[in-house]
């Protein structure tokens, strides 16, 4: 008798080449996938501490949200259909007045929403009180790459949100020493560089040096707005990616979130440095414009996908994949009559292996393979919108959504089973987040209804 921690019995498995292994068994032990095999070939001596029925389910790798902001969960309903500048009028008052316990309450809700949507890893580009986000990720079982937002200049930034270079570095280092590698390496702490407009060259240089010394990454917003490009050209005579490169920041450990307003030369520069771009199709299409994704793919740049947080959308990577596919088709495909200007499975790759590479964990996550960490999502596929189908992987990307997520395993721990959390009362966490919204709503001057109901 050979005992494993989890045995998933008789499921369909999405393999790294996007073919399907039918009626298969996945064995998980000590947080790692130890076997993926057709059921007919499995030695019958295996038993699982936990056995999950796989009939009618498709196993896919956990999705990776490579750019998000957990703190902004409590900004739901506050930023859409608002006039400029949302950053100065809403975001800055919100971030400068939110309390640690409010961040924690919002981050707990955020993590549970992620898990229920099949997202097992998130890369948070930072906000305030990020220790609370680390704690929420640890408590809920999520994998996370967390940064603290650092800013040392900027017209609309209150002094309370700006740090000197030394203080900015020291605060991130404190977070790093407290949480980097915590919870069996599930938590990684990176440096955050909010954006070029709010960063002095001295801070950019210090982050570049210290991130290398600590062997960790840098997560920044890059080429998001025209304003940023204009500022960079006017003040530095360089385009944004060139500015980051000038300070040695571009490398395999660099995420450039958004990466919309890049020149062809900047795209090649990112590729040459092995840096990653992370698109956020919902916020990009709403506020920034079209990315040059097909061009980036042909140039061999690593691309991940991000929700940019819950303030502007449901945390739904399936929606992101479809939106990016359709937006690229509308922008580049139709005019040259190319129906596959961005293939469907290429966007799925961005949501899995692309994100894994972006967070420097491609050896551990991003695909279902023996020896990789067991971040596994089981989708219920016996539904009217997913079966029957001649091509299950493509249909999954075209038609699946969070409501199809049935079971979620992260780092070998089953955190969601039959759509129920094994350790949390979902409603209690939702109510606590509601109380936190009320608190930060008052202190940040958000327009909440006079009778706020949860
Ligand atoms: Zn962002």
Three-state DSSP state, 151? coil
Is 426 within a domain? no
Distance 218 CA to ligand 1 centre (A): 13
Domain shared by 19 and 164, yes or no: no
Domain shared by 156 and 15, yes or no: no
> So what's the pLDDT on residue 155?
82
Distance 280 CA to ligand 1 centre (A): 8
Q: Looking at residues 381-386, what average pLDDT do you find?
A: 98
Is 451 within a domain? no
Domain shared by 182 and 159, yes or no: yes
Is 350 within a domain? yes
Q: Is the pLDDT of residue 80 over 90?
A: no
Distance 365 CA to ligand 1 centre (A): 23
Question: At which of 334, 358, 382 does a domain end?
Answer: 358
Query: Does the N-terminal peptide bond of residue 387 adopt cis geometry, omega within 30 degrees of 0?
Result: no
The structure tokens 């109901």 sit at 453
Is 18 within a domain? yes
> So what's the pLDDT on residue 450?
63
Taking every pair of Cα atoms in the chain, the longest distance, rounded to a whole number of angstroms, is 70
Domain shared by 108 and 191, yes or no: yes
Burial of 449 (0-12, 13-18, 19+ CB in 10 A): exposed
> So what's the pLDDT on residue 451?
56
> So what's the pLDDT on residue 452?
57
Domain shared by 194 and 249, yes or no: yes
> So what's the pLDDT on residue 87?
79
Token pair, residue 350, equals 């961005």
**Looking at residue 196, what DSSP letter applies?**
G
Task: Tell me if the pTM is above 0.85.
Answer: yes
Distance 225 CA to ligand 1 centre (A): 12
In a 13 Å sphere around the CA of 423, the CA atoms on its Cβ side amount to: 12
Domain shared by 51 and 69, yes or no: no
Q: pLDDT category, 160, cuts 50, 70, 90?
A: confident
pLDDT over 70 percentage in the chain: 99
* Rounded Cα distance, 164 and 273, in Å: 29
Distance 79 CA to ligand 1 centre (A): 13
Q: Is the pLDDT of residue 356 over 80?
A: yes
> So what's the pLDDT on residue 311?
85
CATH number at residue 53: 2.30.40.10
Is 454 within a domain? no
Q: Looking at residues 181-189, what average pLDDT do you find?
A: 98
Distance 312 CA to ligand 1 centre (A): 11
Query: Does the N-terminal peptide bond of residue 388 adopt cis geometry, omega within 30 degrees of 0?
Result: yes
Domain shared by 160 and 225, yes or no: yes
Q: pLDDT category, 447, cuts 50, 70, 90?
A: confident
Domain shared by 43 and 104, yes or no: no
Domain shared by 201 and 342, yes or no: yes
Token pair, residue 420, equals 């129920």
Distance 39 CA to ligand 1 centre (A): 43
Name the nearest CA neighbour of 231 among 189, 257, 201, 266: 201
Q: Which of 172-186, 259-273, 368-382, 430-444 has the lowest mean pLDDT?
A: 430-444
Q: pLDDT category, 240, cuts 50, 70, 90?
A: very high
Spatial contact of 60 and 396, defined as CB atoms under 8 Å apart: yes
Q: Looking at residues 347-354, what average pLDDT do you find?
A: 98
Quickly list H helices, 55-199. 86, 92-97, 100-116, 130-140, 165-179, 182-185
Domain shared by 288 and 313, yes or no: yes
> So what's the pLDDT on residue 446?
83
Is 236 within a domain? yes
Distance 67 CA to ligand 1 centre (A): 6
> So what's the pLDDT on residue 157?
83
CATH number at residue 196: 3.20.20.140
Predicted confidence (pLDDT) per residue in 307-322, tens digit = 999 888 999 999 999 9
Q: Is the pLDDT of residue 449 over 90?
A: no
Spatial contact of 380 and 403, defined as CB atoms under 8 Å apart: no
Domain shared by 131 and 261, yes or no: yes
Determine phi and psi for 264, rounding to 5 degrees.
-60, -35
> So what's the pLDDT on residue 31?
98
Distance 330 CA to ligand 1 centre (A): 25
Domain count, the chain: 2
Is 430 within a domain? no
Domain that holds residue 29: 2-61+373-421
Domain shared by 20 and 131, yes or no: no
Is 85 within a domain? yes
Q: pLDDT category, 90, cuts 50, 70, 90?
A: confident
Predicted confidence (pLDDT) per residue in 92-135, tens digit = 889 889 999 999 999 999 999 999 999 999 999 998 999 999 99
Q: Is the pLDDT of residue 27 over 80?
A: yes
Q: Looking at residues 380-403, what average pLDDT do you find?
A: 98
Q: Is the pLDDT of residue 166 over 90?
A: yes
């Amino acid at each position: 008798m050979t005992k494993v921690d989890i045995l998933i019995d008789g499921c369909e498995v999405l393999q790294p080449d996007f073919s399907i292994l039918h009626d298969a068994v996945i064995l998980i032990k000590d947080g790692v996938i130890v076997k993926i095999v057709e059921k007919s070939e499995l030695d019958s001596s295996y038993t699982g501490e936990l056995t999950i029925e796989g009939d009618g389910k498709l196993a896919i790798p956990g999705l990776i949200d490579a750019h998000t902001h957990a703190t902004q969960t409590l900004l739901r309903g506050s930023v859409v259909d608002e006039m400029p500048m949302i950053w100065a009028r809403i975001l800055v008052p919100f971030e400068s007045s939110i309390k640690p316990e409010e961040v924690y309450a919002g981050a707990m809700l955020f993590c549970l929403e992620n898990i229920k949507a099949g997202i097992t890893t998130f890369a948070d580009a930072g906000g305030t009180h990020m220790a609370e986000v680390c704690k929420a990720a640890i408590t809920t079982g999520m994998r996370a790459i967390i940064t603290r937002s650092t800013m040392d200049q900027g017209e609309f930034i209150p002094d309370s949100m700006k740090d000197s270079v030394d203080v900015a570095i020291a605060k991130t280092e404190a977070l790093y020493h407290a949480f980097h590698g915590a919870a069996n390496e599930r938590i990684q702490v990176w440096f955050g560089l909010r954006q070029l407009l709010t960063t002095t060259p001295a801070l950019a240089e210090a982050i570049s040096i210290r991130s290398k010394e600590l062997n960790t990454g840098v997560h920044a917003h890059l080429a998001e707005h025209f304003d940023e490009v204009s500022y960079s050209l006017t003040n530095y005579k360089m385009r944004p990616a060139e500015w980051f490169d000038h300070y040695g920041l571009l490398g395999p450990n660099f995420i450039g979130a958004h990466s919309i307003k890049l020149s062809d030369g900047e795209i090649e520069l990112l590729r040459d440095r092995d840096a990653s771009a992370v698109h956020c199709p919902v916020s990009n299409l709403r506020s920034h414009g079209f990315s040059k994704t097909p061009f980036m793919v042909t140039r061999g740049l690593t691309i991940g996908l991000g929700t940019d947080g819950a303030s502007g959308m449901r945390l739904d990577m399936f929606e992101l994949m479809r939106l990016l596919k359709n937006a690229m088709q509308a922008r580049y495909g139709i005019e040259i009559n190319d129906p596959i200007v961005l293939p469907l499975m290429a966007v799925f790759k961005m949501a899995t292996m692309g994100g894994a590479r972006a967070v420097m964990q491609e050896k551990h996550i991003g695909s279902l393979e023996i020896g990789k960490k067991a971040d596994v999502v089981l989708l219920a596929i016996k539904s009217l919108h997913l079966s029957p189908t001649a091509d299950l992987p493509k249909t999954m990307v075209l038609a699946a959504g969070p409501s199809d997520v049935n079971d979620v395993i992260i780092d070998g721990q089953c955190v969601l089973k039959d759509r129920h959390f094994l350790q949390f009362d979902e409603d209690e966490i939702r109510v606590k987040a509601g109380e936190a919204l009320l608190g930060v709503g008052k202190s940040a001057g958000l327009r909440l209804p006079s009778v706020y109901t949860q």
